[in-house]
A and B are shown apart, each in its own frame.
Chain A
Amino acid sequence: MMFNWLQKLGSRVLLRLSSLGAALVMLLQSLLVLPGPRGWQRLTQQLYVVGVQSFIIIFVSAGFIGMVLGLQGYTLLVDYGSEQAVGQMVALTLVRELAPVVAALLFAGRAGSALTAELGLMKATEQLASLEMFGVDPLHRIVAPRFIAGLISLPILVIIFNLVGVYGGHLVAVEWLGVHSGAYWGNMQAAVDFSDDVMNGLIKALVFATLVTWTALYQGYTCVPTSQGISEATTRTVVYSSLMILGFDFILTALMFGGL
């Protein structure tokens, strides 16, 4: 009985480890090839699908999150007579935590799931197999441009998220609630450091981009090529990416700001 249980545990761990290894091999095989002559064109195409099409959702969410931060910060700080610090609070919260995490979660839902579904459907309709029959490496042709596009897109989206959020906070705190505009920006500029805060936020974004895009592509590439398999793979992409984003965010925060 005990041994059965141990054996089950062991086989599960081995299965997970081997799929992790397979995912790493897939990533390396797709990236360690020189891009072909039409590589730029494929990258542009994917930047449009992964980046530009995620822009609106990022823009709108950032605006609302900034406005909520401005409102909550104001009502919290006004009790202590230090509502000027709302700019500092909005900017630090966004730049260090909320922008990378929320943008990555939205990115996983918007772009990651689409990538998995696309690759899964390609597999189900045997497009990947036909590419191989033509002597074209699907990893190189299909996976690589999508991965690189994700890696470029998410940091850019996070930068835009930061900026839109800060202006959303400005709209509520300064325009509506009457915090002094100079105090809003002045406190913010005194508190936010470009390399410590903004750049660390972008490093987070780069890590999250790797996690989300990699998970999405691996799940799509290895899914069971049936309609149910594709739907399960898409769900797994969103669930795994979200959990990894939140887990890695804690580790990165501890390393960057926790003094570890």
Chain B
Amino acid sequence: MAKKWLEISVGGLLVAGIAALLVLALQVSGSHLGGASGQYRLTALFDNAAGLSAKARVTLAGVTIGEVDQVSIDKQTLMARVDMSIDSAVDYLTLDSSASILTAGLLGEKYVGLSIGAEEEVLADGDMIEDTQSALVLEELIGQVLLNLGGD
């Protein structure tokens, strides 16, 4: 009986370890089991994507609906090209939706905020969001303020 209990507890420890690793992967590091299934991809071109990085959140009305896959330079326009994966449950982003790069808190991380337009048709896999607003770069903002003050 004592031996049985010993073996049960060892088995329990192993199972607990594997279960904890699984929860760690899903809950803490945010890996997805099914890979890219259940998502569709959108792209957007920004004048300036300063501070935005892969795995940043994509939100609609403050609710996370996807994440940024990668940020790269678009060779034709020389603008920042942001590829995003959006949950396929969110199938109501209209063609004239706009994307802007926002900051969580004063010093927080950058994320992409989407807002929905008025058109009937919706964005599908591989589409591009035309209406974009760039990241707020503090130095540029201060520079503009100084310029305006100097002009007065």
Contacts and interface: CB of A to CB of B under 8 A. Distances in A.
Nearest to A157: B17
Contacts of B20: 159-160, 162-163
B89 to A, nearest CB: 17
Interface stretch (A103-111, A133-141, A186-194, A216-224): A186-194
A156 B105 contact: no
Q: How large is the interface on B (under 10, 10 to 19, 20 to 34, 35 or more residues)?
A: 20 to 34
A-B CB proximity, top 5 nearest: A189-B30, A156-B17, A194-B29, A192-B29, A163-B20
A162 B107 contact: no
Contacts of B10: 44, 47-48, 51-52
Contacts, number: 90
A181 to B, nearest CB: 12
Given A44-B6, A48-B9, A186-B57, A81 B105 contact: yes
Interface of A: 44-45, 47-48, 51-52, 55, 80-82, 84-85, 91, 95, 153, 155-157, 159-160, 162-163, 166, 182, 185-190, 192-194, 197-198
Question: A interface, by DSSP: helix, strand, loop or mixed?
Answer: helix
Interface string B107-131: 1110000000000000000000000
8 contacts: A44-B10, A51-B13, A52-B9, A82-B107, A82-B108, A153-B13, A159-B20, A194-B29
B91 interface: no
A85 B67 CA distance: 17
